[in-house]
A and B are shown apart, each in its own frame.
Chain A
Amino acid sequence: DSGVTQTPKHLITATGQRVTLRCSPRSGDLSVYWYQQSLDQGLQFLIQYYNGEERAKGNILERFSAQQFPDLHSELNLSSLELGDSALYFCASSVGGGTSGNEQFFGPGTRLTVL
């Protein structure tokens, strides 16, 4: 158990809908990262937050957004969902703010299925 929690574990929804994925980092970690794992794209970095502020952005679609709250939990919002958004979404956390190569500890993931 990495100490990172993600809810829900599974999510099934329809095209055009909006969903929210939630992540709680390990105790003491200030950074939260979101990744998407799909069969065709592999593991892709989406976005990072550090202590409430956006720190780095990757290949995140405009239909997707995230935020980190004062209690350091984070939410990833996916809207206008398409079939291709079906994937495993991981949250990871680390102590540092992305200014050093701290190891990232991953949550169990949320499997999103868009029908």
Chain B
Amino acid sequence: AQKVTQAQTEISVVEKEDVTLDCVYETRDTTYYLFWYKQPPSGELVFLIRRNSFDEQNEISGRYSWNFQKSTSSFNFTITASQVVDSAVYFCALSEVNNDYKLSFGAGTTVTVRA
């Protein structure tokens, strides 16, 4: 069964629009970690954020913000005032204590920001 679901396959926005990427996860562990990674067209995977299951505080880093809600098993990611450089594939991932903390990735969401 898929542990991480990113229901949006592709999102296209115009520059300066906000874009929210959904991530829903499934786990029976009480201790787990959630991540977001960015894969730009150049292909490398860039770490964006890590969240542990005991910290539900939302986080903001520049134009990026994350909303973690355990009640709905969601860890959504918002890019505010998007820019062309934000065009990339974004992956949500789950790391569980009872799975040796292996990273289980979602299928990814392709974000295209048009000028």
Chain A residues packing against B (C-beta within 8 Å)? 2, 33, 35, 42-45, 48, 55-56, 58, 88, 90, 92, 98-109, 111
Contact indicator A106/B44 (Cβ below 8 Å): yes
- What is the CB-to-nearest-CB distance from A58 to chain B, in angstroms, rounded to a whole number? 6
A selection of 5 A-B contacts at a CB cut-off of 8 Å is A43-B108, A56-B101, A106-B44, A106-B45, A107-B44
Q: In the bound complex, do residue A56 and residue B100 qualify as a contact, i.e. CB atoms below 8 Å apart? A: yes
Contact A55–B100 (Cβ < 8 Å) = yes
Q: How many residues of B contact A (CB 8 A)?
A: 24
Q: With A101-B33, A101-B50, A106-B37 given, is the CB distance from A88 to B43 under 8 Å?
A: yes
Question: For chains A and B in complex, what number of residue pairs have CB atoms within 8 angstroms?
Answer: 59
A104→B103 contact, CB < 8 A: yes
Do B101 and A100 touch (CB < 8 A)?
yes
